[in-house]
Amino acid sequence: MQGWMNVREEALNVLLAELLAERGLKALGEVILKKGYPDVLLDLNGVRIVIEAKKTGRREELRRNCEGRLDNGMCDICVMVEYAALNVTSISPTVSDLKDALLKGKYNVGFMTYLDRIGLEKWLAGFKPRVKSDFYVNIDFQEFVTYLISVYEYTVEEDIVTPVVERLKRVLMIFRGQFCPMVLMLIS
């Protein structure tokens, strides 16, 4: 962050949540949950989204935090945000100055979903996660919101139940075909 004063990440996270809320998203910054302390928590039509945000240079920590958030069931989608470039020029910035810096700032953003963590591609032939696993670099606030909504739509639209049910049906048919004749022979 450029400027005279260094601002704590927690303050930026709360303001980021406010900016998202101002755009119609149910967002709350620095909340306390039974399962942990996400930087920003969003609820989008029942889908829980956690944003883990850090200043640049802590990308691996962001990845580990998101993996933990997904693995412990805190969220369905975890967003990794690096505050890449926030320009605060005031000697003593106000909340309004910081919000303006966030709106005009640049971000490096990555996404993880529960689909990434459960590794469906191992179980379902042809399944390929469509979410970019690497970071989008130097995007603006509006692009960040657009990517966030896109990942949400992908997550809720992806039908993972039908292919699993079909595979289970095939396995059960094979089992029935191999073992039912043996059971009938034993009974008779």
pLDDT in tens, 108-132: 999 998 877 776 666 666 666 555 5
- Nearby residues of 103 by Cβ (< 8 Å), 6 or more positions away: 19, 141
- The whole model's pTM is what? 0.77
Output 137 or 127, whichever has higher pLDDT: 137
Mean pLDDT over 149-171 rounds to 73
Would you state the torsion angle of the CA atoms of residues 121, 146, 82, 11, taken in this order, to the nearest 10 degrees? -130
Domain at 9-157, CATH class: alpha beta
Instruction: Determine the Cα angle at 169 with ends 165 and 171, to 5°.
Output: 115
- How many residues would you count in the chain? 188
Residue 69: both structure tokens together: 């958030």
Six-digit token string for 131? 């979410």
Compute the average pLDDT of residues 34-63.
92
What gap in Å lies between CA 152 and CA 13, rounded to an integer?
20
Structure-token match 């883990």, residue found: 52
* Cβ-contact 39, 30 below 8 angstroms: yes
Query: Is residue 188 pLDDT above 80, yes or no?
Result: no
- The region of weakest confidence among 18-22, 26-30, 35-39 is 35-39
Distance (Å, rounded) from C-alpha 29 to C-alpha 23? 15
DSSP 60-125: HHHHHHHHHHHHTTS-SEEEEEEEEE-B---SS--HHHHHHHHHH-EEEEEEEEHHHHHTGGGTST
Checking if the pLDDT of 183 tops 60, the result is no
Domain boundaries, the chain: 9-157, 160-188
Closest of 5, 2, 19, 41 to residue 99, by C-alpha? 19
User: Cα separation of 179 and 186, whole Å?
Assistant: 11
